[in-house]
């Protein structure tokens, strides 16, 4: 398993979007991390104008482990010009 941290970006697939008591968030999976990764859809985290839907590919970064699982603190849609593999370091 790669070292996960601020410099790591992961490609992941959105499994569901939830309107929770603390705001909307999404749950995604990557084949490089065991378990799911959640991210807030607040503009401070989600860098897009529209919310993702189930099945969308996203790029997650600034990933941290919490007691409830992994949390990404930056997220956006995967774009055609992205060179993000399932796990890569930013240069």
Examine residue 12 and state whether it is found in any structural domain, yes or no: yes
Examine residue 38 and state whether it is found in any structural domain, yes or no: yes
CATH number (domain holding residue 45): 2.40.50.140
Question: Nearest CA to 43 among 4, 78, 73, 6?
Answer: 73
pTM: 0.83
pLDDT tens, 7-45?
589 999 999 999 999 999 999 999 999 999 999 999 999
How many structural domains are present in the chain?
1
Tell whether the model's pLDDT for residue 2 goes beyond 70: no
Examine residue 1 and state whether it is found in any structural domain, yes or no: no
**pLDDT > 70 in the chain, percent:** 84
Q: Which two tokens stand for residue 29?
A: 């999976």
The domain in which residue 40 lies consists of 8-79
Examine residue 87 and state whether it is found in any structural domain, yes or no: no
Examine residue 35 and state whether it is found in any structural domain, yes or no: yes
- Distance in angstroms between the alpha carbons of the first and the last residue of the chain: 20
**pLDDT > 90 in the chain, percent:** 74
């Amino acid at each position: 398993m790669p070292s996960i941290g601020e410099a790591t970006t992961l490609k992941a697939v959105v499994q569901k979007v939830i309107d929770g008591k603390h705001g909307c968030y999404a749950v995604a999976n990557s084949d490089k991390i065991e378990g799911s990764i959640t991210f807030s859809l607040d503009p401070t985290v989600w860098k897009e104008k529209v919310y993702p839907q189930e099945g969308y590919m996203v790029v997650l970064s600034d990933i941290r482990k919490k007691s409830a699982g992994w949390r990404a603190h930056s997220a956006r849609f995967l774009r055609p010009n992205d060179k993000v593999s399932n796990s890569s370091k930013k240069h």
